[in-house]
Amino acid sequence: MEKELSRSRIQFLKKDYSRGFIADCGFKAVNYKRGYLESRLKVLNRHRQQDHYIHAGVIATMADHTAGYAAFSLVPEDHRILTIEFKINFLEAAYGQALVCRSRILREGGQILVGESEVFDQRGREEALVAKAMVTLRSIHESKIKPIQK
Amino acid sequence: MEKELSRSRIQFLKKDYSRGFIADCGFKAVNYKRGYLESRLKVLNRHRQQDHYIHAGVIATMADHTAGYAAFSLVPEDHRILTIEFKINFLEAAYGQALVCRSRILREGGQILVGESEVFDQRGREEALVAKAMVTLRSIHESKIKPIQK
Amino acid sequence: MEKELSRSRIQFLKKDYSRGFIADCGFKAVNYKRGYLESRLKVLNRHRQQDHYIHAGVIATMADHTAGYAAFSLVPEDHRILTIEFKINFLEAAYGQALVCRSRILREGGQILVGESEVFDQRGREEALVAKAMVTLRSIHESKIKPIQK
Amino acid sequence: MEKELSRSRIQFLKKDYSRGFIADCGFKAVNYKRGYLESRLKVLNRHRQQDHYIHAGVIATMADHTAGYAAFSLVPEDHRILTIEFKINFLEAAYGQALVCRSRILREGGQILVGESEVFDQRGREEALVAKAMVTLRSIHESKIKPIQK
């Protein structure tokens, strides 16, 4: 009933994942399944805050965007995903060499999708859960996206 | 009873606001009062997402960091602020030439502070409320910040 | 442009506010405007928790339901309001003789509405803000409400 | 290292779970482990809302209180748990004959604990996930709980 993603759709989604702010920050989509996405960031000094921890905004951006693209794998190809809201808890400070985010969709069907994202901090060979987010998303037809003059 | 911030403390806070990821993104602290901060971002193409709107992660980063520094004006100078969690609602799409964030602290006293941030999208001479966040923060003594090897 | 609520609509909404669990708990709608509602609870011992404070669940129920009915004043009469999600911060302990909740809608238009609720604890003649919530709501046509067999 | 709960501690916690508003509503603790609690509610008409679904406030109260008591199993016996904030997504309408809530603590250690609660709606022999919450809690010494005059 629930068909798997085609290889070409996965290629499209992975490439589309890293545009604009996301490409600028360096986030990459690495592992896609229907309703699931794992993304990755190689941490640079520019991602840190005043005390050298990874900035909460980096982690939040990753949690939001990865949930959004996990949702994007579940809707028709002429639909887009917008974030209605998200909430994120920071469980411990992140300071490792990479972040990994794993997002899965808890609720699909209809216009409202709900996903959750777990962000892990890679410290050498270990991985610690440093943040968890719940993300409420909306699927809309691409014709309803108002074009923006750059 | 509640003394105003000294000019030198305001200077310190404004400068400290823009470090690491925040400096990299281009956010600036522009107007400080005790428990209140207004920040600003000149929007560039790198802040946008796939449909040319300003990325939710940019808005969330601004809402979090500005609330954090609003809180930072309320605690002793040897304390630091960490974000415990935040929640943000995106009220409409943002696409203007600048973002303005106004954060104020709703609850102070003790270790837990709660702030709210409103993010406005500047479109020519008009300003629209595009996001609102509630941010839970923690004040800790600087000696408890674990030093990070870069 | 935005017409005020008719007296009969206000009467309907106030009465409809207090049904089921809400009537059982004792919450009442007291002051309605378009997109705004103030509700009230006379606090009884049954509303308290193990340390005699008013239970967080009582406060959360009031914040959610009052925002929902503030939204209900903005949609066509054949629509219903469902809560998609809410987030609530408890700013200080509540222990007074009554609670007052004031909810207003920040975003209307379309199917998704966002409201915020402030809950105040009445202690003699004083009133303290004890909780603040952001509530995401959905307006749907009544024909889409699946009937439930009791 | 992490010792299991004693039988007498479990008995104390289960009994303490159902006081005040929680006892009034009919919620019961049914299965306790260290950092984990399952609770249950037999649904009555008084728990429903205007369209006969189970009220969001009932579900939110259960999610909050069950996470709080999951946290209570992790702190010293002379400490109390307060809710700092919670966020809950309602994934689908609940209308069954009972609710089951399963809460587990994601972050312990120190004063701030974070839990998540999943609420399931029992419909005959089936169970559906109808809500998920993230709850931020605080552990404080009982001497800091201000006594309330009833």
Query: Could you report the per-residue pLDDT of D48-87, keeping only the tens digit for each?
Result: 998 899 999 999 999 999 999 999 999 999 999 999 999 9
User: pLDDT at position A2, please?
Assistant: 59
User: For residue C75, is pLDDT > 60?
Assistant: yes
Question: Binning pLDDT at 50, 70 and 90, where does residue D120 land?
Answer: very high
Mean pLDDT of D84-110: 96
Q: How far apart are CA D113 and CA D83, in angstroms?
A: 10
Give B-chain residues touching A46 at CB under 8 angstroms: 20-21, 24
Q: Which of C16, C58, C83 sits opposite D21 (nearest CB)?
A: C58
Q: How is residue C5 annotated by DSSP?
A: P
Cβ contact C2:C50 at 8 Å = no
Report the residue of chain A nearest B49, measured CA to CA: A20
Tell me what pLDDT residue A150 has. Answer: 52
pTM for this prediction = 0.96
- Contact yes or no for C112 and A87 at CB 8 A: no
Rounded CA separation B147/D55 (Å): 47
Give the DSSP H or E segment for D115: strand D112-123
Give B131 to chain D, closest Cα distance, Å.
17
Pick the CATH number of C7-144 from 3.40.50.300, 2.20.25.90, 3.40.50.720, 3.10.129.10: 3.10.129.10
The per-residue pLDDT for range D11-61, each reduced to its tens digit, is 999 999 999 999 999 999 999 999 999 999 999 999 999 889 999 999 999
The answer for residues whose C-beta is within 8 angstroms of residue C122's C-beta and 6 or more apart is C96, C97, C98, C99, C100
Backbone phi and psi for residue B60, each to the nearest 5 degrees, phi listed first: -65, -40
Size of interface A-B (CB pairs under 8 A): 129
Average pLDDT over every residue of A71-93: 96
> Most A CBs within 10 Å: which of D83, D84, D87, as the mutation test of the A interface?
D87
Find the closest chain A residue to D118 by CA distance. A106
What percent of the residues of chain B are helix, what percent strand, and what percent coil, each to the nearest 5? 25, 45, 30
d(CA C134, CA A69): 25
Determine the residue among D14, D43, D49, D50 to mutate to test chain C binding: the one whose Cβ has the most chain C Cβ atoms within 10 Å: D50
A20-54 per-residue burial string, b: 16 or more CB within 10 A, e: under 16: bbbebbebebeebeebbbbbbbebeeebbbbbbbb
- pLDDT above 90 covers what percent of chain A? 91
Count of A–D CB contacts within 8 Å?
A: 32
Q: What is the DSSP letter of D4?
A: P
Q: Which residues contact B16 (CB under 8 A, 6 or more apart)?
A: A50, B69, B72
CA distance B117 to B83: 13
Flag whether pLDDT at C86 surpasses 50. yes
Best B86, B107, B137 member to test C by mutation, with max C CBs in 10 Å, is B107
How far does B40 lie from chain A, in Å, by closest CA? 16
Chains with at least 3 CB pairs less than 8 angstroms from chain B:
A, C, D
pLDDT band, residue A138 (cuts 50/70/90): very high
Q: State how far residue B50 is from chain A, nearest Cα, in angstroms.
A: 6
- pLDDT tens profile A31-80: 999 999 999 999 999 999 988 999 999 999 999 999 999 999 999 999 99
- Asked if C84 and A134 come within 8 Å (Cβ–Cβ), the reply is no
Q: Across the interface, which of A52, A62, A148 has its CB nearest the CB of B53?
A: A148
Q: What is the C-alpha to C-alpha distance for residues B81 and B67, in angstroms, rounded to an integer?
A: 10
Chains C and D form CB pairs within 8 A to the count of 131
Q: pLDDT band at residue C149, thresholds of 50, 70 and 90?
A: low
Q: Per residue in C128-146, pLDDT tens? A: 999 999 999 999 999 998 8
CA dihedral (B72, B75, B78, B82) in degrees, to 10, reads -50
pLDDT at B1 over 50: no
Higher-confidence residue: D147 or B15? B15
> Nearest CA of chain D to the CA of B106: how many Å?
13
Name chain B contacts of D87, Cβ cutoff 8 Å.
87
**Is A146–B21 a contact, with Cβ atoms under 8 angstroms apart?**
no
Q: Determine which of D85, D137, D144 to mutate to test the interface with C (most C C-beta atoms within 10 Å).
A: D85
Those residues of chain A whose CB sits closer than 8 Å to some CB in chain C are 84-85, 87, 111-112, 114, 134, 136, 138
Is residue C68 exposed (0-12), middle (13-18) or buried (19+ Cβ within 10 Å)?
A: buried
Burial class, A71, CB count within 10 angstroms (exposed 0-12 / middle 13-18 / buried 19+): buried
**Closest chain C residue to A87 measured between Cα atoms?**
C87
As a whole number of angstroms, the distance between CA D13 and CA D32 comes to: 9
Is the CB of A146 less than 8 angstroms away from the CB of B83?
no
Quote the tokens at residue B8.
């030198």
Interval B1-20 mean pLDDT: 89
Chain D positions touching B111 (Cβ under 8 A) are: 111
At residue A1, the pLDDT reads 41
